Amino acid sequence: MYIHDLNPVLFNFTFFEIRWYSLAYIFGILIGWWIAKKIIIFKIKNKIITFDIKLLDDLISYIIISIILGGRAGYIIFYNFSYYLNNPIDIFKIWEGGMSFHGALIGLIVGTYLFSKKIKINTFFFSRYCCMRCPNWHFFRKNSKFYQ
């Protein structure tokens, strides 16, 4: 069994660190945003849906905030609850690390739900045209059944 000994820090400037995990979040958000935008623009051009594409950009703001809050809350609740119960001020020390994918996913779902309720669009619109198709790279092919 392989156990990695990779350094979690990619670059360490004297007062600033760039970690691999944060890059995964950043690139995941940017690539997901790009893919979702391409899918929705294609659907709009082919008159399959009517949607203001600027709302997707607004959704990304909600998603970023919800991922950060949910990821931090998930880390606190799932992995180190007793420590943070005894040291509540350390909850705000995000520079010391501590993000949970599970919490970020829950935050993403809640943020998307709240955004869709705010703009009065069915919550499943975003999952149908964005979330469910993003892992499926077939939409790049023009003749793919996923384009239809």
This prediction has a pTM of: 0.76
Q: C-alpha angle with apex 112: 72 to 146, nearest 5 degrees? A: 120
In whole angstroms, give the CA distance from residue 80 to residue 133: 34
**pLDDT score of 5:** 80
Coil, helix or strand at residue 11: strand
Q: How many CB atoms lie within 10 A of CB 2?
A: 4
In whole angstroms, give the CA distance from residue 41 to residue 34: 11
Positions of the chain with pLDDT lower than 50, given as ranges: 133-134, 136-140, 143, 146-148
Reported as a single tens digit per residue, the pLDDT across 92-110 is: 988 787 888 889 989 988 9
